[in-house]
Amino acid sequence: MIGTAREYGAAKRQIKELETALQALKSNRGSGHPDIERALLEGYTGELSCIRDDVERYDAVRSGQTRSLQITSLAELGEAVVLARTAAGRTQRELADELGVSAQQIQRDEAKRYAKAGIDRLQAVMGALQLKFEGNVTLVRVLDQPLGREPSDVQNTPSSAPPFGRPVTTSSSANSRSDAPRRKRRKAATPGRGRGITARTVPAPR
């Protein structure tokens, strides 16, 4: 959206450049790949249409034909405030003097469409421009949420799942196997020394 005279002038120049490029593309059509030419044609045409719409809206607001702007998000509110100052015929310095800030501050705020400005400063600007803002807020309710309980309550409800990383075994057979004493086996050597000594494995005494 165009909000300042500088942006308006840049948009007008961009329209001329796109018109020149579009005319050259149409004159040389057939000399390149058909798919590439079609993509360029659609791109130039679409961009040119958007910029022309912005210029027409700026002209309508600046001339007083448009007295209200419809917005659907808070991001569009900042754009509307910038356009409202232009529609009022006030410069950035005049607005800055009324608010008691520097003209550079207003310029920075408008460049970012007041995205970094706090709600207090935005309200002060809207008050200085005598803007009236009305909007509707659609409330969304989770239908499967039990009445009287906040979403955080449901999320914090203790779960029956075992602690993370500590699996719990409930099988009785598994417990009996794990608890059963292991039978140790030891090597017992027959009496004697030197060659002929043999070893045998016998069960350990219980």
Q: What is the per-residue DSSP string for 123-134?
A: HHHHHHTT----
State the pLDDT at residue 192: 46
Mean pLDDT of the chain: 77
Beta-bridge partners for 187 = 201
The CATH number of the domain covering residues in 68-151: 1.10.260.40
pLDDT in tens, 3-36: 888 889 999 999 999 999 999 888 887 777 888 8
pLDDT in tens, 30-61: 777 888 888 988 999 999 999 999 999 889 98
Beta-carbon contacts of residue 98 (< 8 Å; ≥ 6 apart)? 128
Q: Where are the domains of the chain?
A: 1-66, 68-151
pTM: 0.55
* Cα radius of gyration (the chain): 39
